[in-house]
Amino acid sequence: MLNLKPWYLSRTIWASVVTTLLGVAGLAGLPVDGVDNSALTDTFLQAITALSGLIAIFGRVSARQRIGKN
């Protein structure tokens, strides 16, 4: 494995985060018996992707300087 990617692009990391959150939710007394972990991970990743796109658009629209070479 020579190709590197940032940790936040790893499906394994996000699936682990979702699994941990479900475990904590179960300990807190929330009903999590019927939750599909894979579907929840996919939904979570789609939401993060949409949010990052909105942040990128907002950042570019509100920028006060041009992008260019120094």
Model confidence pLDDT, tens digit, residues 30-58: 887 887 888 888 888 888 888 888 888 88
- Domains identified in the chain, total number: 1
Of the chain, the percentage scoring pLDDT greater than 90 comes to 0
11-18: Cβ within 8 A, 24+ apart: 11/41, 11/45, 14/41, 14/44, 14/45, 14/48, 15/41, 17/44, 18/44
In a domain, 31, yes or no: no
In a domain, 44, yes or no: yes
In a domain, 42, yes or no: yes
In a domain, 41, yes or no: yes
Amino acid at 64: R
Give the range of the structural domain holding residue 44, as residue numbers without chain letter: 36-60
pLDDT computed for residue 46 by the predictor: 86
pLDDT computed for residue 70 by the predictor: 62
In a domain, 26, yes or no: no
In a domain, 46, yes or no: yes
What's the whole-number average pLDDT of the chain? 81
pLDDT band at 1 (very low <50, low <70, confident <90, very high): low
